[in-house]
Chains A and B, each alone.
Chain A
Amino acid sequence: MNASLAETPSLGSSWPLWRRQIVGILRLEIKKNFLSKRALPMYLLAAIPVVILMMLAVFDRGMQRGVRTNLSQAFIVFSNLHEGLILRTVIFFGCAWIFMNLFRGEVVDKSLHYYFLSAVKREVLVVGKYLSGLIASCTLFLLTTIGALFFLLLPRGLQANLDYIFDGPGWAQIVDYLGITILACIGYGALFMVIGLFFRNPIIPALLVYGWEWLNFLLPPMLKKISIIHYLHSLVPVPVNEGPLAIIGEPTPSWIAISGMLAVTAIVLGLASVKIRRMEIQYGSE
């Protein structure tokens, strides 16, 4: 009876096998994340900050002058924009869209069972899907961050910018902003993948998280730490003033902020794996 088994090409052992499986998942998912109709809102969101800074750079005389004469003031403006618009809004909703759709989208399309019927551990599927979301969100929102920085610095002219980047603090600052963008995708991505798995209608939990993240500055230090924006906020190279109502906690050192974020992400992914192991295929009324 094992004639057909004997023909089955061997798949080899765990780690190399899982790596190949993840590559296989990425092949499918990255195409979907970037090219499907669902990707459109993501592109629109990602363009918003860039368009705003482009308009300012082109049309706003005051801004142009400010950037030329007082760069540190300009970076305070940029930090606020980066946190308020890029992190809290664009990346937040962009990740919500991308990561909540990783599994939900396939339930809507009734195609998730093809994964579930493949000889792949569901944990490997979680990791593959999550990585595909990270690749999509990081690519896009890094471009957003770079584009926004580009238009911020544009009015200063080439030479001044080269000096700023290579002889001044520019390089480190830019790397910081990009790093924060990546961390935001890692954190919000894991969070929203799990929300998408646990809630039938994930909009309301997502909005609750949104509110929580905005009110974070009002919270006592203990509660502050249960959030993603808190850690991102601690890492911003040019501090953002949270306003007169803010309760000032101890600033979290950056190594704690980063490892804390990664730890929380790992826990959240673990949760997702448990959930996905128990998940049943019920696409609704047939």
Chain B
Amino acid sequence: MEAAINIPINSTAQASVATEQMIIFEDVSKFYGEILGVNRVNLSIAPGITSLVGPNGSGKTTLMNLMTGLIQPTRGRVKVLDFSPSDPEVYFRHVGYCSQFDSFPAGHTGYEFIYSYLRVQGYGKKVADQMTWQALERVGLTEPAKRKVAGYSKGMRQRVRLAQSIAHHPTVIVLDEPLNGLDPMARADAIRLFRELANSGLHLIISSHILHEVNAMSDRVIFIESGYVKAAGDVEGVRNELEEHPLQILVRCDQPSTLAARLFQESHIVEVRIHDDRMGMFVKTRNTDMFYELLHHAVLEYNLNIETVATVDNDLNAVYHYLIGARQEGE
């Protein structure tokens, strides 16, 4: 294992940002017994959308759980906007966390779920009710709000958890793999929502194991692998690099030729290979975001039946090397 690289994310624009607006990891390590979660992480993250990218098991959830006090660091300190998660009463007025746990307290409707935890925080009936509807509106869930969460689709559950994490108007929102398991339409919706939230002045930390799906909306990217922060940088460079490494996506659906014809009208599509059984295709795209948007429209337009959509290669090495190389040159 190479030595930890400690990267304060510093661009000229952010150099002046005061610590009370930063998310700061100070030499943070977390061990689960003998198992390494993350090691010697030093970060100062300025406002904006920051993506935390790394393969499964690299330590993304660990970092997010440390940030939100669900676990405590073995060493080091975490501060968000100068608040510490060890004082939840103050901390969670500013921070919302949409975790990876897809579980709910039993028996709740979407509305009750959000409303109840606002009441737990001490909001009165009327205010909590207003805040709940606001949050539900924000994620587009007002219509099914009075139905039981148990009957929600995966995408709806994801959205109601998101609504719950933003209902109290936090300044910082932490989202653990929020796109995971969403179908293309839900994914496009979610990305649009994150952009909206960021535009309204919030700080978002979003994790993903697929760089291509987060880079378009991020201001900067942090790469993590095997518990070490490997590289971090503004997203521009990453984006250029990705242009040269199109992402391959597997789509299993009917009418692949219709879809292929539509896809070829787009400049970000590099290659389409239709499967021999004519029930699917491999697509290479330089812009995952736009691809999902497109797929969304195609489904409605041609009445496509989609069985699976999955990213095939998720090899970040090229991008790591690019970033690490670029950093060394720049220093």
What residues make up the interface of A, taking CB atoms closer than 8 Å to B? 1-5, 7-9, 11-12, 17-18, 20-21, 23-25, 27-28, 32, 35-36, 106, 109-111, 113-122, 124, 277-278, 280-283, 286
Number of A-B contacts (CB under 8 A): 124
Is B65's CB under 8 angstroms from A118's CB?
A: no
Structural contact, A122 and B88, CB atoms closer than 8 A: yes
Q: Is B235 part of the contact surface with A, judged by Cβ < 8 Å? A: no
Please determine whether A11 and B122 come into contact, CB atoms closer than 8 angstroms: yes
Contacts of B127 in A (CB 8 A): 9
**With A3-B201, A36-B106, A119-B88 known to touch, is A11 a contact of B72 (CB < 8 Å)?**
no
Residues A119 and B171 in contact, CB atoms below 8 Å apart = no
Decide if A20 touches B122 in the complex (CB within 8 Å): yes
- CB contact list, B198-215 vs A, under 8 A: 200-202
With A5-B169, A11-B122 already in contact, the answer to whether A118 and B92 are too (CB < 8 A) is yes
Q: A9-B127, A11-B93, A109-B103 are in contact. Are A115 and B120 (CB under 8 A)?
A: yes
Q: Whole-angstrom distance between the alpha carbons of A21 and B122 in the complex?
A: 4
Closest B residue to A37 by CB, please name it.
B106
The CA of A286 and the CA of B117, in the complex, are separated in Å by: 24
Q: Is the CB of B93 within 8 A of A8?
A: yes
Instruction: Known pairs A109-B105, A122-B88; list 9 more (Cβ under 8 Å).
Output: A3-B200, A7-B169, A9-B123, A20-B123, A35-B107, A113-B101, A116-B69, A278-B72, A286-B100
Given A1-B171, A3-B200, A286-B100, do A119 and B89 touch, yes or no (CB 8 Å)? yes
A111 to B170, CA, bound (A): 21
Main secondary structure of the interface of A (DSSP, over half): helix
- By a CB distance below 8 angstroms, the chain B residues around A27 are 116, 119-120
13 contacts between A and B (CB under 8 A): A8-B169, A11-B121, A11-B123, A21-B121, A23-B119, A24-B117, A24-B120, A114-B164, A117-B70, A117-B99, A278-B72, A280-B72, A281-B71
Question: Hey, which bits of chain B sit against chain A, CB under 8 A?
Answer: 21, 32, 47, 65, 68-72, 86-94, 96-97, 99-101, 103-107, 116-124, 127, 131, 164-165, 168-171, 200-202
- Residue numbers in B under 8 Å from A116 (CB-CB): 69-70, 88
**3 closest A-B pairs (Cβ-Cβ)?**
A24-B119, A110-B103, A119-B92
Of the residues A2, A21, A281, contact of B70 by C-beta under 8 Å: A281
Q: A20-B122, A21-B120 are in contact. Are A4 and B169 (CB under 8 A)?
A: yes
- Do residues B105 and A114 form an inter-chain contact, with CB atoms below 8 A? yes
CB-contact partner of A24 in B86, B106, B122, B131, under 8 A: B122
Most A CB contacts (10 A, CB to CB) among B71, B120, B124 go to B120
Inter-chain contact A111/B70, CB cutoff 8 Å: no
Residues of chain A contacted by B88 (CB below 8 angstroms): 116-122
Q: How far is the CA of A207 from the CA of B96 in the complex (A)?
A: 41
CB-based contact B122/A28 at 8 Å: no
User: With the chains together, A118 CA to B21 CA distance in Å?
Assistant: 21
Question: B106 to A109, Cβ gap below 8 A?
Answer: yes
List of B residues within 8 angstroms of A18 by Cβ: 122
How far, in Å, is B21 (CB) from chain A's closest CB?
6
